[in-house]
Structure 1
Amino acid sequence: MALGTMILRKMASNKWLQLNLWFGLTLCVALFSSMPLYSDAILQRTLQRELQLVQGESSAYPGYVRIRTTVSSTKMDDKTIQAIGRADRFVRTIPERTGLPAQAFYEQRFTPKLKVYGADASEQEKKTQKTAGAFASLSGLEQRVRIVEGRLPADRQDGAFEALVTERFLNSVKRSLGEELIAEAPDKTPLRVVPVGLVATSADADPYLPYLTEQAENSLLLPFETFEREFTAGGKVRVAELEWRYALDYAQLSIGGIDRFLEAATDIKRYFRGRLGAEEVNVPATATVASYAGKQARLDVTMLSLYSPVMLMLAFYLYMAANLVIGRQKTEIAVLRSRGASRAQIMAAYAAENMLLGAAALAVGPFVGVGFTKLLGASGGFLEFVQRSALEVSLTSGSYRIAALAVGGAILLVLFPAFLATRVDIVAHKQRSARQPRMSFWHKTGIDLVLIALAGYLLYNFGKRQEDLKRLALDQDALQIDPLLFLMPAMFALGGGLLLLRVYPWLLHLLYRAGRRWWPPSLYHTLVQISRSSGQYLTIQVFLIMTVSTGLFSANAARTINDNMESKIRYAAGADIALTTRWANDAPPPAMAGAEPGPEAAASSGTDRRVQYTEPPFEPFADLEGAASAAKVFRSDKARFAAGKTSGKTTLMGIETKSFGETAWMKDGLLEHPINSYLNLIAPNPKAVLISRSLADKAKAKPGDAIRLSWDGLDQAAFTVYGIVDYWPSWSPLQSGEPGKEELPYLVVGHLSAIQNRLAVEPYEVWLKLADGAASQDIYDELAAQKLSISGLTDANRQLAVSNNDPFRLAINGVMTLGFVISMLICFFGFLLFWLLTLSGRTLQYGVLGAMGIPFRQIILMLVSEQLLTSGAAAVIGVLIGGWSSELFVPMFEMSFATTAQVPPFTVVYRLADYLQLYSLVGITLAVGLLVLGWRLSRIRIAQALKLGEE
């Protein structure tokens, strides 16, 4: 009880320091708990969206499960009946196996197809009748079909079956409802059937799993119980096929349930494989769900690496706060040690104190982590937020488990300064206090040099790996971020900062000696203070260096990744929207399989008759309200060129220069001159063309040379080379083909009108540029309203939306933004904490200076100059190291893209706005800190300072 009271009193006497320590512990808990929360939430959202796309693209409900199997047994013996019963029982366990509740379910049974004719049919009619139908059953028949005419079937006492049929089937047997039919069994046994109702698909029966009568038009539909009694168990006709269909609630599929779902899908296929006959198992969602297997583990690793700089900052903050707390209590610890207290007793007291703070952090931190997770979900780029549906986040036991581990590690970290302090008694403590500050632990052990060397070694290995990938033409996934790409810059920033801070005091000392006769008192005092005790500023300087450098690196890395992915998508598309239309032509219809060719086809088979196309009107596309411009772009990959003595295949692109320049997207810097300069160059001459650098090198062609073009047996047409380009919208200059047989592609760009007039008219693409404020859906709606026939479409904006919602890209943008904000936040609090404690420790010094007659303005200038030479210098060093780390490590992100398919080439992107945001945040931190410190300094009284000095 006494120990607890002492701990609480000690915490109360240092409440502001304890509050800062609790703040750091809470941030630590929030960060670690947000990692699993974010990975679960973002993967859950993207999984559900991709499952919804399955329904949109393949018209299959994502939770759809269909099992169909034949029954190979020729008779319904006990073994077959038992096998069907076991299959039924297995199917009913599917919802439990997948972990998804069933929204709808039905099963069907089918007999072999039987010959069906009227009971009153003549012998001649029986011979000519070709109608065949199978007895079928459907569970829940009453709720799943719509009775168009007649009634539902019932049991009869005369041995005949009442059945439901489709109108088409009834017309094929040339009978009406109520007229008896005969279904002839394989053993020639006649089975009497009376159709009592006409059925059709019910639109209101089941939105998840509708029963489509069109799929079973030739069926004699019986109640399920009747079929089971008479055929499955009774054996009047063998059961030939079985079918089960489920509509599972895919919205309940969680990331944690992926393995269970995939295992269940595998078990279903394994169970029915050859058990009853030939099986068919269709689970459309399997491929989409399987793509997420293992993705959470990779995302967790990526997030851990993304968080590593922030965690390093938090570790510094916690250590600094704990060190400041212990620093004010070192005398007390030394007195306790001198009076007989053991180190274990002192450490137990501090452990109990920090466990109270840890428990408080654990109570609040996970909820702050939920807020962090939602902030991550709203991030669209570095320090950019978009209107996006909020992530569905819920705290789990896993989050609390990780948070508890984070608290435990943080407590061990903050106990380390106390452990060091317990080694010293009161005598040793007074001796150390009187001595000059020693070299810091970081510089004494050479950790700065070790970190720089390690970062350089990893950078070298990454460079070698990238060269191997390019040399071997190995492809990677669209975006695979290596965790070391974020650890290396953090190590380099810390090592580089410590190295420069090792040299910085010597520079200050030289500056002091160079102008000590002329420096004003404020600057003189500051230079002496900093050069003699530079170690006490090391922590805050490292804080600022890490914040600024990692902030710059994060901004440049995020901007580079986003810009290159966007450029890759837009360049490949060529414009916002590229679509193809159906052109009328005189091509003969394709011959049916097995049909003999007609005389006209046979006559033309020996000749290469060209297909003649009729160009559809272009005005409907040019007049689209949602399009700012539209362009015709003809493209043929089968064209051939002849230049000098060189010939070969090439891609031929025909354009209209004005509309193409207004519509196409081209990244700046890819060409020697702006793209419009090349378009203006060829605009006056219809015979002018542009050729690719690869074609110019092969044919030794240069501007002014002639080049001849043709395709598909056309007569060659002469054109003139006016320019050479390295890139062109939608055209890739990279090698293609099998390994060892790669070929460089070639390109010729000419006037569409000249190509059509001198060669042939063939279908072209329509490229559209969206008007300001217009969306792709506006174009889709206009195309549908005008009933324009579209055969293909590429939408760059839709592809960008898919790319922006990639979990890994969201994590990069979100974590970099969140990490920088948190770094600035803890840097601000750490800055104030450090300088306020430093100021309070110098109360006597500033009081004496005031008593000596030094004006308050001079004291403020001392404080400002001290801030500029410590915190300001650290910010400048951070800018330098951030620039160096960006130059060294951001190019390594090229490996995150498909190395052999990155067009345009990977470029490092810097934006002035990012630098201005960073400088503004750092400047605000320093300005607010100076204002607070100045206000505190103005409240110091001489009497108070002398009283403290006496104590």
Structure 2
Amino acid sequence: MIIRKMVQNKWLVASLFVGLAISVALVSSMPIYSEAVLSRMLVKDLEKMQTDRGVYPGSQYSKLFYTKETPEEMNRIFERVDRYAHNTAQASFQIPVQELVNDYQSKSMKIRAVNDPNPESKSSLKTMTIRSFSELEDHIKLTDGRMPAETQPVDGVYEVLVTERALVQFKAVIDSEYVVADEKIAGEMKFKPVGVFEKKQDDDPYFRDSDLSELSASFVMNDKVAKQALLQESRFPIASVGWFFVLDYSKLELRFIDDFIDTTNKLRNVLLNQVTMYQTVSETPALDTIAKYMDRADQLRTLMWSLNVPVLIMLGFYMFMVSNLIADRQKNEIAVLRSRGAARWQIVTSYAVEGVILCGIALGVGPLLGVVLTEVLGASNGFLAFVQRVALPVRLTAEAYRYGAIAAGACFVIMIIPIIMATRVTIVGHKQQMARLIKSPLWHKMFLDVIALALAIYGLYTFRKRLADLQSLGLNATDLNIDPLQFVVPALFVMGGGLLLLRLYPWVLRLVYWVGKKWWPPSVYATLIQVGRSSTQYQFLMIFLIMTIATGVFSASAARTINNNTEDRIRYGNGADIVLKAEWINDAPPPLPPGAPGGETAAVPDVIHYLEPAFEPFRTLPGVESAAKVFTKEASFSVNEGSGAATLMGIDTDEFGASTWFRDSLLDYPINDYLNLIASDSQAVLISKTLADQQKVKAGDTIWVGWSDVPQQPFKVYGVIDYFPTFNPNPPVGSVNVSEEDSTGRAPMLIVGHLPRIQVQLALEPYDVWIKLKPEATTAQFYEGLTESNLPITSIVNTREQLVEAKNDPFLMALNGILTLGFVLSILVSFIGFLLYWVLSLRGRTLQNGILRAIGLSFGQLIGMLAVEQVLTSGVAVLIGILVGNIASLLYVPNFQIAFNPSSLVPPFQVMFDPDDLTRIYTLVGFMLAVGLGILAYMLSRLRIHQAIKLGED
């Protein structure tokens, strides 16, 4: 019976199943997507660590020092640790081990050349250690000589390898022999360098020492020979044994982190159990990065859930709407069953079985769809933008099915609620309800709209207050507890705002009816009466459309805002497309090498004189549109009997205005107006508002500026600015104590003046070169031209490269992916829900439409009635959704800056809308209404008046 009933209502059941499958897929994709993105983020963090610190992140080094152990104890300790490293630890890391290098090192020994003319002289003694590494021959190439013999010693001489630096250190040549001249070593031991080697690959992680400098005083012996001579036979005094793991960190995923950390700790404990802690070393460079990564991971998880909350609420509305439609269509059947003796639990059970079947299928299909969603989202390069990139490490997990089961359970409850409510009504009550369509809905009576808006506004107030504390105190987002529910309030605002406008909508309809009641044509007149008197039956559709459209608008705005503000922050922080530092000729003495006599007290002149290089070559580089000189210096100032420290920036106003990037909305006037203001007077300066507030300075005051060994000179204040390229007016992170009430004294200050005056009256010192590239120019062309120009460049900041890196940042990629998914699902679900509602509504009004046709309404007039009805319901709901979505975006999108470091968000977070996104929404809504009207027109065209009249009892 249940299967037959589902087949009879196949379109309703199919629509319900689509909602179920999307809901389960979305929820189950959360753990899949979060694990995939977090794994990608971890690898990116480790890659950045390798770039910044020059250390291979996938390494783990454990070292054991021998002191007073007997040879037997040494061998026993070594065997225990080596067995654990090879048999247990190697598999426990859970990621591929590319190399496991055994490292043996002897204690320092004195040696001298066999052919030394003064064998009694100590001046010819050299200090040497024996080193060996397993599988070394696979990672080196000989630059001179040959490999040592496998069987050692050869005629009483140990053959060894040396580096080029060691050959110079020992003042040796190939095949020269050395004898150990150390009283602690019995017997005559000889060594002979037979080959000079270097690394086969420069970036080979096999070598802990990237430049092999630690081998500059070592003889490198075959590892098997070294193990026998140092450890097993104790011919030479052994100092230490090491185990160096080279792991493929690109395969490190979120699920392997605990195993990686546990194995590292166990390896350290195995060493500690053998000897005291002072005799062991354990180095895992990645641990610090992993600790920071875990904080970012928690932050990203919270943000991902927060972004998905509005979409989940929207899907819940969709499920409830479809379930309600099913219950409404079958209320007559339920009432008849009840009147014939069926218990409520029996009716509910029959529908529960149907729900279990649908939820069970959705649970089987949903996580698989979640995997597909994750793979699609992994290609997001921005909001609604996809590119070809390395696929995310997507994996279907048991956790995904757990999440899916929770989602399926929640959907089941939502589906059953309308059925339980329907079983409360008898056949008499059902007929009464059908005759009384005008009644106030539950949310109307309980003022849920007002409550939701009040909660949303309170949440906004508390967030804004906390954010102000974060920025004024120079704190990180983690320093103040931010309730994750702060990200739920946008959904509350959307729901509350939509419901409030729906509460007012019937009054608007009455006003429209009253204004034109003498002129409305019959179709519009009938529709206004129909919608006005039966507004309750349309409200659920309207609420649903408001939620979906508003969620789509909010997702679009959030994505555009986060992406554009990220780009603006990079552009503002750098100031221009390219920032170059050049080397200036000067009379400063060269720095002494470390350890050189008098290195700490080298004489440095009080004033260093610089020779400015030619500037014209910078302007003529390929792709350069304009170039500017920008001098920055930490300076001291005096003004109004007060003093302090500020950043002094010297510029040429015309060139600077043409080369820099700046968002004009940051200041009261465009930045070029301020540059023009000071252009006519060489003494004129602009000061930051932080300086003006802290020192009570105003336009027209004289400020004296200088720095150490440079006397202060007078400048005149022409203007006060809040922001200027590269200047962050917020207190640095950690500079202000939370308990301090006044943080204004810690805010950075800025003075902007003319570079020529600063160079003439203060000092001529190196400046940066800010370059704006032509839009069509590429950085590759610019770099090629820079190489050919032979300019003495010491550093380059490339804004374009940083923008590309930001787009590839997994954190931003996750946000774009989730917001894109939210937007697409909102539009898809609203389209399905819209069509479903109107098709069912038209079927339910077959009798009414037949009567209207029978009394003389033409087919065109009937279509006109439906069009007006759609505009007054769906069209109005879409407009309300767009309005509420835009207001929610303006109020709540700034909440997302808490996911970053608010103190570093300069320029300030600005909500942005892309006209293309609104165009997509308008286009889709227009298409939706057109398709809906077309389907309804087709259904009406198939209507036969006599068949419609036969259906009724009137």
**Aligned equivalents of 1:656, 1:298: Cα separation in 2:** 43
Segment drifting more, 888-897 vs 98-107: 888-897
Residue of structure 2 in register with 1:3 after alignment: none
Residue of structure 2 in register with 1:619 after alignment: 616
Distance of aligned partners of 1:784 and 1:546 in 2 relative to their CA distance in 1, 3 Å threshold: same
Residue 730 (str. 1) matches residue 733 (str. 2): no
Q: 2:840 aligns with which of 810, 834, 837?
A: 837
1:642 deviates by 4.6
Residue of structure 1 in register with 2:907 after alignment: 904
**Percent identity for Structure 1 against Structure 2:** 42
Residue of structure 2 in register with 1:95 after alignment: 90
**Aligned equivalents of 2:171, 2:821: Cα separation in 1:** 75
Distance of aligned partners of 1:311 and 1:188 in 2 relative to their CA distance in 1, 3 Å threshold: closer
Q: 1:64 aligns with which of 59, 63, 66?
A: 59
Residue of structure 2 in register with 1:522 after alignment: 523
SS of aligned partner of 1:247? strand
Distance of aligned partners of 1:241 and 1:757 in 2 relative to their CA distance in 1, 3 Å threshold: same
1:124-143 to 2 correspondences below 5 Å: 124-125=119-120, 127-143=122-138
SS of aligned partner of 1:907? coil
1:530-929 to 2 correspondences below 5 Å: 530-591=531-592, 609-638=606-635, 640-642=636-638, 647-696=643-692, 706-735=702-731, 737-739=735-737, 742-929=745-932
Distance of aligned partners of 1:328 and 1:233 in 2 relative to their CA distance in 1, 3 Å threshold: same
SS of aligned partner of 1:728? coil
SS of aligned partner of 1:197? strand
**Aligned equivalents of 1:644, 1:412: Cα separation in 2:** 71
**Aligned equivalents of 1:856, 1:887: Cα separation in 2:** 45
1:696 deviates by 4.9
Residue of structure 1 in register with 2:357 after alignment: 356
Distance of aligned partners of 1:903 and 1:822 in 2 relative to their CA distance in 1, 3 Å threshold: same
1:911 deviates by 4.3
Distance of aligned partners of 1:630 and 1:814 in 2 relative to their CA distance in 1, 3 Å threshold: same
1:265-414 to 2 correspondences below 5 Å: 265-272=264-271, 275=276, 277-293=278-294, 295-386=296-387, 388-414=389-415
Q: 1:201 aligns with which of 198, 202, 219?
A: 198
Aligned AA for 1:441? L
TM-score, normalization by structure 1? 0.91
1:312 deviates by 1.6
Residues 624-664 of structure 1, C-alpha deviations (whole Å, 9 max, x = no match): 214322211111112x4455655544322221222211111
- Tell me if the contact between 1:627 and 1:770 (Cα under 8 Å) persists in the aligned partners: yes
Aligned AA for 1:726? D
Residue of structure 2 in register with 1:83 after alignment: 77
SS of aligned partner of 1:236? coil
**Aligned equivalents of 1:924, 1:598: Cα separation in 2:** 77
**Aligned equivalents of 2:792, 2:625: Cα separation in 1:** 21
- Tell me if the contact between 1:83 and 1:276 (Cα under 8 Å) persists in the aligned partners: no
Distance of aligned partners of 1:642 and 1:524 in 2 relative to their CA distance in 1, 3 Å threshold: same
1:516 deviates by 4.3
**Aligned equivalents of 1:655, 1:245: Cα separation in 2:** 53
Residue of structure 1 in register with 2:488 after alignment: 487
Residues 403-451 of structure 1, C-alpha deviations (whole Å, 9 max, x = no match): 2332232122212222333344444433433444543233234332332
Segment drifting more, 307-316 vs 329-338: 329-338
**Aligned equivalents of 1:800, 1:448: Cα separation in 2:** 42
Residue of structure 2 in register with 1:12 after alignment: 7
- Tell me if the contact between 2:383 and 2:816 (Cα under 8 Å) persists in the aligned partners: yes
Residue of structure 1 in register with 2:233 after alignment: 234
Residues 352-404 of structure 1, C-alpha deviations (whole Å, 9 max, x = no match): 32333233333433333233223333334444445544434232332233223
Aligned AA for 1:243? G
SS of aligned partner of 2:709? coil
Aligned AA for 2:319? L
**Aligned equivalents of 1:950, 1:217: Cα separation in 2:** 105
- Tell me if the contact between 1:32 and 1:406 (Cα under 8 Å) persists in the aligned partners: yes
- Tell me if the contact between 2:690 and 2:749 (Cα under 8 Å) persists in the aligned partners: yes
- Tell me if the contact between 1:64 and 1:245 (Cα under 8 Å) persists in the aligned partners: yes
- What stretches of structure 1 of length at least 5 have no aligned partner? 1-5
**Aligned equivalents of 2:541, 2:551: Cα separation in 1:** 15
Segment drifting more, 186-195 vs 754-763: 186-195
- Tell me if the contact between 2:74 and 2:231 (Cα under 8 Å) persists in the aligned partners: no
Q: 2:106 aligns with which of 111, 120, 124?
A: 111
Residues 151-206 of structure 1, C-alpha deviations (whole Å, 9 max, x = no match): 42244689824221326656766776666532134425233224262131251699
- Tell me if the contact between 2:524 and 2:868 (Cα under 8 Å) persists in the aligned partners: yes
- What stretches of structure 2 of length at least 5 have no aligned partner? none
- Tell me if the contact between 2:847 and 2:949 (Cα under 8 Å) persists in the aligned partners: yes
Residues 525-567 of structure 1, C-alpha deviations (whole Å, 9 max, x = no match): 1222222222211111001111232233333333333333333
Residues 914-933 of structure 1, C-alpha deviations (whole Å, 9 max, x = no match): 43333333232223222222
Segment drifting more, 253-262 vs 227-236: 227-236
Q: 1:162 aligns with which of 158, 182, 193?
A: 158
Distance of aligned partners of 1:489 and 1:716 in 2 relative to their CA distance in 1, 3 Å threshold: closer
Q: 1:30 aligns with which of 21, 25, 28?
A: 25
Residues 1-44 of structure 1, C-alpha deviations (whole Å, 9 max, x = no match): xxxxx222222211111111111111112211221121122222
Residue of structure 2 in register with 1:946 after alignment: 949
1:845 deviates by 1.0
Distance of aligned partners of 1:480 and 1:22 in 2 relative to their CA distance in 1, 3 Å threshold: farther
- Tell me if the contact between 2:592 and 2:599 (Cα under 8 Å) persists in the aligned partners: no
Residues 763-800 of structure 1, C-alpha deviations (whole Å, 9 max, x = no match): 10111223214444554454445444433333333443
- Tell me if the contact between 2:581 and 2:769 (Cα under 8 Å) persists in the aligned partners: yes
- Tell me if the contact between 1:110 and 1:134 (Cα under 8 Å) persists in the aligned partners: yes
Segment drifting more, 306-315 vs 674-683: 674-683
**Aligned equivalents of 1:814, 1:175: Cα separation in 2:** 62
Distance of aligned partners of 1:381 and 1:120 in 2 relative to their CA distance in 1, 3 Å threshold: closer
Distance of aligned partners of 1:651 and 1:156 in 2 relative to their CA distance in 1, 3 Å threshold: closer
**Aligned equivalents of 1:107, 1:902: Cα separation in 2:** 48
**Aligned equivalents of 2:23, 2:881: Cα separation in 1:** 23
Aligned AA for 1:830? G
**Aligned equivalents of 2:557, 2:534: Cα separation in 1:** 35
Distance of aligned partners of 1:893 and 1:28 in 2 relative to their CA distance in 1, 3 Å threshold: closer
SS of aligned partner of 1:890? helix
- Tell me if the contact between 1:479 and 1:896 (Cα under 8 Å) persists in the aligned partners: no
**Aligned equivalents of 1:669, 1:679: Cα separation in 2:** 16
Residue 192 (str. 1) matches residue 189 (str. 2): yes
Aligned AA for 2:48? L
Residue of structure 1 in register with 2:248 after alignment: 249
**Aligned equivalents of 1:629, 1:481: Cα separation in 2:** 45
Segment drifting more, 572-581 vs 440-449: 440-449
Distance of aligned partners of 1:214 and 1:490 in 2 relative to their CA distance in 1, 3 Å threshold: closer
Aligned AA for 1:107? N
- Tell me if the contact between 1:76 and 1:238 (Cα under 8 Å) persists in the aligned partners: no
Residue of structure 1 in register with 2:48 after alignment: 53
**Aligned equivalents of 2:153, 2:883: Cα separation in 1:** 97
Distance of aligned partners of 1:376 and 1:713 in 2 relative to their CA distance in 1, 3 Å threshold: same
Distance of aligned partners of 1:693 and 1:433 in 2 relative to their CA distance in 1, 3 Å threshold: closer
Distance of aligned partners of 1:71 and 1:785 in 2 relative to their CA distance in 1, 3 Å threshold: farther
Distance of aligned partners of 1:915 and 1:773 in 2 relative to their CA distance in 1, 3 Å threshold: same
Aligned AA for 1:751? H
**Aligned equivalents of 1:333, 1:642: Cα separation in 2:** 86
